Amino acid sequence: MKHPIAILISGRGSNMRALAEACAGEDYPARVALVLSNVKDAAGLAWAAERGIKTATVEHKAYGGDREAFERALDREISASGASFVCLAGFMRVLTPWFIDTYRGRLINIHPSLLPAFPGLHTHRRALEAGVAVHGCTVHHVIAHVDAGEIIQQASVPVLPDDTEDTLAARVLVEEWRLYPEALRRALPKG
Ligand code: GRF
């Protein structure tokens, strides 16, 4: 059985693409029921729509500061699509406990560092500043604490002497595309 998933994005959507491409495989245990964005011109939306994947936009701006009302609108779109599992893929909104509780155990995220190192933003710059020799990415369950939650799988890359933020980010991103489909497969309910 293919589990219907929703992928939440805010921009480029390259991790969404990696997931959608994996889902296109006959033996992969998930299918993309919805690509949902909080930004109407997110590049990933056009890519998904061109491939016949259902897309939707719920703009957080339309809800002023009411985060839970925004999330209830997200939840309505996800439920309407039939998706029972949610993958955050560059979704740039912090979620409230209400949404996290609603999707407990069915909500995962990809983060561009080897958590618990470098939660939050600018992970590649911070990794370079810290002088680490190894960097990478993490797929984890989402809990109310940002970039925490049980780790599902990680991938590492070496930090090279002449790395810039951009070269390091690019090396990590290639690993993200490989990691996310593998980790999702692990995290899906069995059967
Ligand atoms: C990725 O580096 C992801 O780990 C982080 O945001 C970035 C999103 O990139 N959460 P993309 O939109 O998937 O290309």
Strand partners for 157: 135
pTM: 0.97
pLDDT tens-digit profile of 77-132?
Answer: 999 999 999 999 999 999 999 999 999 999 999 999 999 999 999 999 999 999 99
Residues 138 and 174 sit within 8 Å (Cβ to Cβ): no
- Pocket residue to mutate for ligand 1, from 47, 107, 152, 176, most atoms within 8 A of Cβ: 176
Ligand 1 centroid – CA 133 distance (Å): 22
Ligand 1 atom nearest to 14, measured from its CA? 14
pLDDT tens-digit profile of 129-184?
Answer: 999 999 999 999 999 998 999 999 999 999 999 999 999 999 999 999 999 999 99
The single residue of 3, 60, 111, 140 carrying the catalytic annotation is: 111
Ligand 1 atom nearest to 15, measured from its CA? 13
Residue 111 annotated as catalytic: yes
